[in-house]
Amino acid sequence: MSQPSTRADADACPGALRLHAAADGPLARVRVPGGRLTGAQAGALREMAEHWGDGNVELTSRANLQLRALRDAPVARLAARLRAAGLLPSDTHELVRNIAASPLGDGSDVARLDRALCADPRLASLPGRFLFAVDAGSGDVAFSADVAALPDGAALPDGADLPVGADLPVGPAGGRPGRAAVAILFAGADAGLRVAAGAVVPALLAAAHAFLDERAAQQAAGGSAGAPADDHRPVAWRVRELDDGPARVAARTAAALGLRLGPAVVLPRPGPWEPIGLIEQPGGRVAVGALVPLGRLSSVQLRVLEPAATVTVTPWRGIVLPGLTPQAARAWAAALTAAGLDVAAGSRWAGVTACAGRPGCAKSLADVRHDADAATTAGTGLPVHWVGCARGCGSPAGPHVRVEATGSGYRVSSPGGSESAVVTEVGALVSAARKG
């Protein structure tokens, strides 16, 4: 039986209506399902950041957006501005609209899931850390989510394919009987649940209800089997924090959908990939991917983005402008480069991220953004995340190098301890930058 990882403190995720008291002033987090917004919405955020905050918009690891240093922002007026821009469609569900998506996907299931989520009163009680994902098939976002949809038969690294599901009726989730086409993953695990492509949204919502039901059952029973009923454990925020969470939530979901589970499968996890440069899309269209250094868009960069029809924020704190003609894509690449965003392969910022650090976070022991800028010279082939304290906010879910401030320097390590060569390389860069 797996050991749950629970937290003693209450879920206090910031939002657009519940601001976080950061060291540099109140912080608002704006949920952007699938990372998709319009250039006009980016412009509205720029205006709010300039009027009330520090003039920048931060990108999070879930492709959401943050406004910092909102010292003079009345919450009601901020909410009204966000609502007018179409960035706050639900006051009751704004903390739970956490939906990751493949940045080059079409976004249709994301929009349907967001609408259905906001229309379900019970799901307003989901934790603010609970994450949905709609993966286009590459596995780029499915493995870090609590519940995710991943097309069956998608090509994954090392030639491994998802198993073919049984010919089962979809049942209450909708869709037509026949070969199931989409795997539903739970905390990155494939428990054998397959649904039809048209049933993705109902299946993901059923999984969210199953999480709430299993959480309530474990809390009432005191947690794992044999624990005393009066054992008041902290409430789980994520599927993996439940005892045997993936298997138990999958079983409840299958039962709710009238389906049976197939065999569980261990899936290989894809390596890191960040869309950058000109990327061919179906129909002769082209997308432009750009890295945003340390995930912070300046006022100047936001102004450049305002004419765009669609701006997609990626979970790797970059942006993609999809569906362009080749000529328009080249023009956008030039404009983004001129604004200080990287659109060429080999960028020194590839895979490099950081928490807020000083002066924005009172718990931080260093100005990690400044130090990351000084120490980063070229990509290492593995994500590198800088953090100002042991909490490690914003850390990548997969293999990465962690550069943690200690108060007297930095500790460089790799969760799991298997990337010693890269750790040594990054450690040398950090030491050289500090001596310089």
Give residue-wise pLDDT tens across range 174-201: 333 344 489 999 999 999 999 998 999 9
Instruction: List, in order, residues 6 or more apart from 94 with CB less than 8 Å away.
Output: 15, 16, 17, 31, 88
Q: Residue 379: pLDDT above 80?
A: no
| Mean pLDDT score of the chain | 87
Torsion of CA 240, 123, 320, 382, to 10 degrees: -10
**335-346 residues labelled b (16+ CB within 10 A) or e (exposed):** bbeebebbbeee
CA dihedral 117→119→123→126, nearest 10 degrees, is 60
pLDDT value at residue 333: 98
**Range of weakest confidence among 21-35, 325-339, 341-355:** 341-355
Q: Tell me, what's the pLDDT at 318?
A: 96
Q: Is the confidence at residue 248, as pLDDT, over 50? A: yes
One DSSP character per residue, 308-372 reads -S-EEE-TTSEEEEEEE-HHHHHHHHHHHHHTT-B-STT-TTTTEEE---TTT-TT-SS-HHHHH
- Per-residue pLDDT reduced to its tens digit, 200-238: 999 999 999 999 999 999 999 975 444 444 455 678 999
Distance CA 40, CA 108 (A): 20
pLDDT in tens, 350-371: 889 999 999 999 999 999 999 9
8-12, 13-17, 235-239, 400-404 — which is least confidently predicted? 8-12
In three-state secondary structure terms, 192 is: strand
Span 163-168, mean pLDDT? 35
pTM of the model: 0.87
Q: Nearest-CA neighbor of 171 among 277, 279, 256?
A: 256
Q: What is the pLDDT of residue 422?
A: 72
pLDDT of residue 245: 97
DSSP category for residue 92: S
SS3 405: strand
Q: Looking at residue 404, what is its pLDDT? A: 92
pLDDT confidence band for 10 (50 / 70 / 90): low
**What pLDDT was estimated at residue 376?**
87
> Checking phi first, is residue 237 left (phi over 0); if not, alpha (psi -120 to 50) or beta?
alpha
Poorest-confidence range of 123-132, 274-283, 425-434? 425-434
Rounded distance between C-alpha atoms, residue 48 and residue 54, angstroms: 10
- What band does 395 get if pLDDT is binned at 50, 70 and 90? confident
Give yes or no for a contact between 285 and 327, defined as CB atoms under 8 angstroms apart. Answer: no
- Least confident segment among 74-88, 106-120, 406-420: 406-420
Tens-digit pLDDT profile for residues 272-320: 778 999 999 999 999 999 999 999 999 999 999 999 999 999 999 999 9
168 token code pair: 């089962």
